[in-house]
Structure formats: C-alpha cells, structure tokens
C-alpha cells in the first residue's frame, strides 16, 4: 500500500522507543494507551502516530528512516529540562526520607517516599499532553474508576497491638464504613484473640505480617510473611493483600509478597497519595500492585501532643475532600488500639462527608486492587474519524466492570461510558467539568528532609535494630543478624528488656 492511500495513523496508542520505565509506569497509571516498540523496523511504528523517545538514549536523526511524514516524534528528554532531578528516575526511586506536615499549630512527622511521585506524575503528564496537543493529537484515557464514579474512598485499619477492648469499641463506629474498610492484622498480636478474628471474618481482612517489623534480610521477611499467611488461612481467611509495618518497602519484601501470590500491597514509604501502580524492581515491574495511602494517621497527632479527636477528624476530612475534588483515590488509615477505639468522632466525620458525595466509590482495598488490575490489562487504540470524532477500539472486550473514557482539555475533563468494543466519541459534544490538582495546603507535598542520617541512626539501620521480634525468633544467618541478636541478649542481661 502506498503512503497516498494509507489510513491515517492512530493518535493512540503512544509508541515508546527506548524510553525509561518511569514513563511507562505513569502512562499505565493514567490509563493512556501505549505500546513499547522493541524492533527498529518501519512497520513496528505504523500502529501509532506519536513516537516517544529518550534523547539521552537515541539520536532523533536515527528515527528518520523509521518514521513517515505523518509521525510526530517527541523527545521526552525535553520534559527533564526544568526539573531539579531526573523525574523518570524519581518515579521509580524506592528510598524514603523523613517528611513534615504543618496543620494548624502542630508539626507532624513520618517517613515516606523521598520523592513526591504523584506531583511528578501530574507535571510530566501535563507537559506530555501539551506536546501531543501541539502535534495535533488528543488525550483520551481510561477512567480511573468504574463508571460513573469520580473517586474512591477506603479506610485502612492496621491492627498492631493485642487490645481487643479497643477493637470492639472501634468496630461499633466502623460499621458506618464497613463496606469500605480493609483490615491488616499483625497475627502475633491477634492469633489468640478468637472474638476479634471471628468479627474480622465478616470484613475485608489482610496480612500485616506476623511480627510488626520489616526486616532488611529477605529470608527473615519471607519467614515473617509466610507465618502470618499460615495463621490467617488456618483462621478462615484468604489473604490477597499485605501492608508493611510503618509503610516500609524493599525489593526482598516485595519478593516475599510475590511468592505468596498476593495481589496488592500498601506501603507509603514507597509512594503516597497517588494512583495505584506496579513498582519497578530494577529489571522488571513487580507483579504486586501498590495502593498508595495518605501517610498521616491519628498516631502522629498523638505524638505531637494533640488530645482533641476533633482535630484528627478535621484533618482527615479535609484530606479526603481534597482528594475527591481532584478525581483521585482518597485512601486514609488508622489504628484502633489506644487510638481510634477512643475517637469515634473520626469515622463519624468521614461517614458524614461521604454521605454528601454521591459519585464516590466506597470500596475495600481488595475491590480497588482487582478493578485496577483489570483496568491495567485493557488494550485499546483511538482512530480519527470525520470532524472532531474519534473511534475507540478495544482489543478484547470485557464487561466485568462498567468502563468509561475520559477526554482531557486543560483542567477540564469530559466522560463517556463505554458499552461496546467500538465506541465513537464526539469530543466537541461532551460536557466538561473542572478537575485540578489539590491546592489545599493540608495535602500539598510535605517538606522532605534529605539530610543523611546521623551515626546512631545509620548503625541502627545497618543492624536492623528492633525489639519487636522475640530474641529466640531472631533470624541470625548473617553477621549483622548475629550481632543484633548478641546485642539484644546483652541488653536483656543489663536492663531486663530485650
């Protein structure tokens, strides 16, 4: 077929040629159709009009023999120009740092991802969208939630300590949000609490590990998670998710979660306040979906000296409202023991907020994870039609969830439900609504402390120092493990505590 009679190239999927994994990660989050071109052959570039390449890896001149005059080549290296760090490297960074939030007169602190990945994602996709528009393209994405929802809410409940009285008090109020709560149980704390486990069997319940600690040693992590999995299954649960104590993440921990066949995890030291994503593990994407949660819980307020539960309720309500307003997930978390069990005002405030939000999906984390994995597996292309019309074609049609397509124009977004493998969208006839990134100072990116830890903190980190695991249970196959166990014995002899 000659170029004279060749059909117009599709504006989507975007074709990725030697681009960094961080770009693929955020395009998947956004629901933008894209494909990785693996062979430098002209026919490999005929499926899409826009070709994205990394000028640091390949010269633009090398594409001339591969592309036609209809193609638009976009060098994503241009998106790095105004950034203080390489944004695509930051998107796959797995290091954490101390962060600080200021709410009213209180300072709150927690260890989180050292890179504000959600903000980087928004900036990069906004810049890329402008490049596509400049080339005469269109920005159509899979809606991030089942139609007709505009956001999703979940309350994550971490059960760390064996205080069943507080759990039962908490459960009285939790019933207001029972359809959108997910519980992560530390089995060392609750394996002998039959009444609590019996109640939890009626709710979405997942693993928080056995001992409340994430180890540096991969084998120790595997033993800890496998033990919790066994306790949960013996108690009548079928765990599909894991939340790491203190939100920690490392590749060895992810290996253990993968080996157990879990579908998702939720670790805010890897990312927070963001769309779900599959982490990059150096040479491939993880098979475990991450569900980023807001990292500020009621415990940080107690540590800052706040005694008024109304302050906690106000903060979390503002966070949830801001996340809903910008059309992104509103996932928050807390602890019943010694905390939320005595703060019913927190869940009541969130319940009242959700009662005013008719287009918010109230979901468990398991429901959200299964939806997002299904959404991420959709493959489609967008073809130009007469006028301002475009046809969306799916490779494999599936009706498991009600799906919608969204067309973005600046800060305005139009939505259209999809009920067939082929749908024509008249972009000029849609109703558009304003959706912007959160501007409430409560939920902007916190202040990150990038200073290196002091000597004491570095030593504790190297030894993986903790006193949660009983001494006789410590995994001492490595030199650091044996030294840690010896120091724990010495401390026990000196102070009576291990």
Q: What is the pLDDT of residues 270-288, one digit of tens each?
A: 999 999 999 999 999 999 9
Q: 3-class SS at 171? A: helix
Q: What is the largest CA-CA distance in the chain?
A: 86
Identify the CATH class of 151-371: alpha beta
Residue predicted with more confidence, 85 or 453: 85
Specify whether the backbone of 55 is left (phi greater than 0), alpha (psi in -120 to 50) or beta.
alpha
The residue whose two tokens read 């490049």 is: 131
> According to DSSP H, which parts of 179-236 are helical?
187-190, 194-200, 218-234
The predicted pLDDT at position 472 comes to 75
- Residue 466 tokens read as 């903790």
Q: How many angstroms separate the CA atoms of 439 and 325, rounded? A: 10
143's tokens:
């809606």
Q: What does the angle CA 125 – CA 128 – CA 133 come to, to the nearest 5 degrees?
A: 120
Cβ-based neighbours of 160, under 8 Å, separated by 6 or more:
186, 189, 208, 212, 245, 335, 337
| Whole-angstrom Cα Rg for the chain | 24
What are φ and ψ of residue 381, in 5° steps? -135, 160
Secondary structure (DSSP) of 244-275 = -GGG---HHHHHHHHHTT--EE--TTT--SS-
Of 6-10, 112-116, 147-151, 212-216, where does mean pLDDT reach its minimum? 6-10
* Closest among 176, 25, 238 to 115, alpha carbons compared: 25
- C-beta separation of 240 from 229 below 8 A: no
Q: What is the pTM of this model?
A: 0.93
What's the rounded mean pLDDT across residues 99-112? 94
Q: Which residues of 122-133 are buried (b: 16+ CB within 10 A; e: fewer)?
A: bbbbebbbebbe
Tell me the domain boundaries of the chain. 1-94+116-142+383-451, 151-371, 455-495
pLDDT band, very low/low/confident/very high, at 416 (cuts 50, 70, 90): very high
pLDDT tens per residue, range 128-149: 999 999 999 999 999 999 999 9
What is the C-alpha separation between 316 and 27, in angstroms, rounded? 29
Q: What pLDDT does 442 receive?
A: 59
Burial of 427 per CB tally in 10 Å (0-12, 13-18, 19+): middle
Strand order in the sheet with 72-75: 34-36, 14-17, 50-53, 72-75
Q: Report the sign of the C-alpha dihedral through residues 313, 242, 355, 273, in that order.
A: positive
The predicted-structure confidence for 449-478, as pLDDT tens digits, reads as follows 777 777 777 777 777 777 788 887 887 777
Both tokens of 139, joined, read 């920005």
């Amino acid at each position: 077929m000659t170029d004279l009679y060749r059909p117009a190239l599709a504006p989507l999927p975007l074709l990725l040629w030697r681009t960094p994994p961080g770009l693929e990660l955020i395009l998947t989050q956004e629901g933008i159709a894209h494909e990785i071109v693996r062979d430098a052959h002209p026919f490999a570039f005929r499926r899409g009009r826009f070709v994205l390449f990394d000028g640091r890896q390949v010269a633009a001149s090398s594409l001339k023999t591969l592309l036609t005059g209809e193609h638009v080549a976009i060098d994503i290296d241009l998106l790095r120009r105004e950034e203080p760090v390489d944004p695509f490297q930051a998107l796959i960074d797995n290091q954490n740092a101390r962060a600080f939030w200021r709410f009213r007169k209180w300072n709150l602190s927690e260890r989180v991802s050292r890179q504000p990945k959600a903000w980087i994602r928004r900036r990069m996709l906004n810049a890329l969208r402008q490049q596509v528009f400049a080339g005469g393209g269109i920005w159509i994405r899979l809606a991030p939630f089942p139609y007709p929802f505009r956001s999703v809410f979940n309350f994550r409940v971490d059960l760390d300590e064996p205080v069943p009285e507080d759990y039962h008090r908490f459960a009285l109020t939790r019933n207001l949000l029972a359809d959108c709560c997910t519980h992560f149980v530390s089995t060392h704390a609750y394996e002998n609490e039959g009444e609590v486990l019996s109640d939890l069997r009626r709710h979405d319940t997942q693993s928080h590990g056995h001992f409340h600690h994430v180890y540096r040693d991969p084998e120790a992590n595997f033993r800890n998670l496998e033990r919790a999995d066994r306790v949960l299954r013996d108690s009548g649960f079928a765990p599909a998710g894991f939340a790491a104590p203190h939100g920690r993440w490392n590749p060895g921990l992810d290996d253990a979660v993968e080996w157990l066949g879990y579908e998702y995890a939720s670790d805010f030291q890897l990312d927070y306040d963001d769309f779900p994503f599959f982490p990059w593990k150096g040479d491939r994407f993880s098979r475990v979906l991450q569900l980023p949660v807001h990292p500020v819980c009621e415990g940080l307020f107690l540590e800052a000296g706040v005694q008024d539960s109304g302050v906690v309720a106000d903060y979390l309500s503002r966070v949830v409202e801001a996340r809903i307003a910008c059309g992104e997930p509103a996932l928050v978390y807390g602890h019943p023991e010694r905390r939320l069990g005595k703060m019913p005002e927190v869940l009541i405030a969130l319940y009242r907020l959700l009662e005013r939000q008719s287009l918010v999906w109230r979901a468990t984390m398991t429901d959200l994870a299964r939806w997002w994995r299904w959404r991420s597996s959709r493959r489609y292309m967008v073809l130009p039609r007469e006028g301002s019309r475009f046809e969306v074609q799916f490779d494999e049609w599936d009706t498991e969830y009600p799906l919608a397509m969204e067309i973005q124009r600046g800060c305005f977004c139009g939505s259209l439900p999809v009920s067939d493998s082929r749908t024509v969208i008249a972009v000029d006839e849609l109703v558009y609504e304003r959706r912007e990134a959160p501007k409430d100072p409560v939920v902007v990116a916190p202040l990150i402390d990038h200073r290196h830890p002091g000597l004491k903190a570095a030593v504790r980190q190297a030894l993986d120092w903790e006193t949660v695991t009983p001494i006789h249970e410590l995994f001492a196959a490595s030199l650091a493990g044996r030294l840690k166990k010896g120091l724990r014995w010495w401390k026990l002899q000196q102070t009576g505590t291990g």
